[in-house]
């Protein structure tokens, strides 16, 4: 090899080494400086041609999301200003009737337009000022090709995931274009849509078309193995169905889900479908996000701490014109379901020595 060729080889190797070192340094710095704030909601149930008053209640919640940067954390969680959210997670049942005609009109398609007007895609095309990361639930309709009336929410999700991928807001998407994942400051997020299994269980007697998880568990396993591995970095998971013994999916499927998570540092699981709550499931923190019309969760994760609280409408019960008690809201917001959790260090993860103190103000 000539001296010139040898010098070129050295320069090439030097550039590659420098690029590798810069990439490694970026990962280390982002993990060390992790400070991610985001919002979570579920069960918007946008309606059309009936019950459209719910849409206005959803819009009130979106407007509060937009103002959350001017709000402080509850005193029990520090009382400091809430940082600007990176995005909003929406965990299924986005619309109320995914495959239904009413009075000759496609109800699901109209409901979807209401969702788009409020949530948009990237914080620039709807009322919401932040990017949104939605998944589908049991109300949102069957897979593309199985709908009876032309509109498919899942087909819309596929299209939106292509746009997210192009914009760089998500990193990994399943072959069908439905399940997806992304990173914020070294924290790994995975959207699993309906529930984390691969196919409907034969003992669950709901419509297989509407309740097909479409390979979500297989996607999760491969995604975590490829994008998290043995790094120990925090993982946040989200899906629609709950983990409290629901008959919408089988105990065997939930056990397979938990086994798949065992090697990883899962700091939170968010879901919808049932009443708002914060609870523990097989050693993991789980947050049931409730309905959009009532409120949303504010979450912050750093390299040392996770804190979250439910921001909700303070409803009052007052006598109506007929003398019966009716729910009334005067525009006041409050806090409940608080959680303040110290996150394990890498050394504690390696030793398996992780202490989980009780939640703060979990009422």
63 inside domain: yes
Please say if the pLDDT value at position 11 is more than 50. no
203 inside domain: yes
Q: What is the pLDDT of residue 253?
A: 97
264 inside domain: yes
Range of the domain at 275: 32-351
199-204 mean pLDDT: 93
Number of domains in the chain: 1
* Residues 131-142: tens digit of each pLDDT: 999 999 999 998
335 inside domain: yes
Please say if the pLDDT value at position 360 is more than 90. no
3 inside domain: no
Q: What is the pLDDT of residue 246?
A: 83
Cα distances (angstroms) measured from residue 156 to each of 11, 98, 121, 320: 48, 12, 11, 41
**Residue 148 · residue 99 · CB < 8 Å:** yes
Q: For the domain that residue 37 is a member of, what is the CATH number?
A: 3.60.21.10
Please say if the pLDDT value at position 32 is more than 80. no
Q: What is the pLDDT of residue 275?
A: 87
pTM to 2 decimals?
0.88
| Residues ≥6 apart with Cβ < 8 Å to 317 | 325, 326, 327, 328
Q: What is the rounded distance in angstroms from the CA atom of residue 57 to the CA atom of residue 41?
A: 13
- Of residues 212 and 345, more confidence is placed in 212
- Of residues 64 and 3, more confidence is placed in 64
* Residues 269-289: tens digit of each pLDDT: 999 999 899 999 999 999 999
Q: What is the pLDDT of residue 4?
A: 54
Please say if the pLDDT value at position 14 is more than 60. no
* Residues 302-359: tens digit of each pLDDT: 999 999 999 999 999 888 888 888 889 999 999 999 999 999 877 777 766 454 444 4
| Residues ≥6 apart with Cβ < 8 Å to 16 | none
Please say if the pLDDT value at position 17 is more than 60. no
Q: What is the pLDDT of residue 349?
A: 75
189 inside domain: yes
5 inside domain: no
**Residue 140 · residue 131 · CB < 8 Å:** no
Give the model's confidence band at 19: pLDDT under 50 very low, under 70 low, under 90 confident, else very high. Answer: very low
Strands, sheet with 172-173, edge to edge from the N-terminal-most edge strand:
172-173, 180-184, 187-191, 235-238, 266-271, 284-288, 277-281
* Residues 106-156: tens digit of each pLDDT: 999 999 999 999 999 999 999 999 999 999 999 999 899 888 888 999 999
């Amino acid at each position: 090899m000539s001296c010139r060729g040898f010098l070129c080889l050295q320069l090439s190797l030097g550039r590659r080494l420098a690029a590798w070192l810069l990439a490694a340094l970026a990962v280390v710095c982002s993990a060390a400086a992790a400070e991610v704030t985001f919002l979570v909601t579920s069960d918007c149930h946008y309606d059309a041609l009936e019950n459209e008053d719910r849409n206005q209640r959803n819009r009130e919640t979106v407007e509060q999301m937009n103002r959350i940067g001017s709000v402080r954390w509850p005193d029990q969680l520090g009382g400091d200003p809430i940082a600007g959210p990176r995005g909003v997670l929406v965990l299924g049942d986005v619309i109320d009737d995914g495959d239904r005609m009413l009075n000759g009109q496609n109800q699901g398609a109209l409901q979807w337009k209401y969702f788009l007007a409020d949530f948009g895609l990237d914080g620039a095309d709807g009322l919401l000022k932040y990017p949104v990361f939605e998944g589908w639930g049991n109300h949102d309709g069957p897979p593309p090709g199985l709908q009876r009336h032309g509109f498919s929410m899942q087909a819309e999700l596929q299209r939106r995931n292509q746009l997210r991928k192009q914009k760089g807001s998500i990193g990994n998407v399943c072959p069908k274009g439905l399940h997806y994942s992304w990173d914020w400051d070294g924290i790994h997020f995975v959207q699993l849509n309906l529930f984390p299994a691969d196919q409907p269980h034969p003992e669950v007697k709901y419509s297989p078309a509407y309740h097909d998880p479409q390979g979500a568990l297989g996607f999760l396993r491969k995604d975590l193995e490829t994008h998290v591995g043995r790094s120990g970095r925090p993982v946040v998971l989200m899906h629609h169905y709950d983990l409290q013994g629901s008959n919408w999916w089988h105990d065997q499927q939930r056990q397979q889900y938990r086994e798949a998570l065992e090697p990883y540092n899962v700091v939170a699981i968010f879901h919808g479908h049932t009443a708002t709550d914060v609870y523990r499931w097989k050693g993991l923190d789980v947050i049931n996000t409730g309905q959009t019309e009532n409120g949303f969760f504010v979450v912050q994760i750093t390299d040392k701490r996770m804190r979250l609280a439910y921001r909700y409408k303070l409803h009052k019960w007052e006598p109506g014109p007929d003398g019966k008690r009716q729910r009334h809201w005067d525009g006041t917001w409050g806090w409940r379901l608080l959680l303040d959790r110290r996150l394990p260090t890498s050394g504690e993860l390696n030793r398996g020595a992780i202490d989980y103190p009780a939640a703060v103000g979990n009422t």
